[in-house]
Structure 1
Amino acid sequence: MEDWGKMELANLPKQVRRTKAAILTYTAWNICKARNREIKAEITLRRLACGGTVIH
């Protein structure tokens, strides 16, 4: 993944490279946050279904 990112940015002017890198980083970060949110929701549902307590 890191090599792909470097290849994508290699031939761009500096300002465009910075902007594109920022957008790619922001997008990846938000995908990870959404995934973690879904995992936590699933854990909460499983605990409720099993009669356990919910920890926030």
Structure 2
Amino acid sequence: MLFSGEREREREREREREIERERERERREERERERLGERGIETEREVREDIR
């Protein structure tokens, strides 16, 4: 059985892990937006070249 201080430390570690998971999710979403944005720019450029 954990003592009060140990339980508190475990809860703090869990909060830190949750924060890190949230940050990682945000980084993945940002990379995906950048990737899609770059692809969108390339596609737009290709369309303009096709029109010429």
TM-score by length of 1: 0.68
What CA deviation, in whole Å up to 9, does each residue of 1:1-56 have, x standing for no partner? Answer: xxxxxxxxxxx81100010000000000000000000001100000001107xxxx
Pairing 1:51–2:51 present: yes
Larger helix fraction of residues: 2
Structure 2 CA distance, aligned partners of 1:35 and 1:44? 14
Q: Which has the higher contact order (CA 8 A, sep 6+)?
A: 1
Structure 2, unpaired ranges of 5+: 1-11
Larger Rg, first or second structure (1 or 2): 2
Q: Secondary structure at the match of 2:51?
A: coil
Could you say what the CA RMSD is over the residues aligned between the two structures, in angstroms?
A: 1.7
Structure 2 CA distance, aligned partners of 1:30 and 1:48? 27
Runs (4 or more) in structure 1 with deviation over 2 Å come to none
TM-score by length of 2: 0.73
Structure 1, unpaired ranges of 5+: 1-11
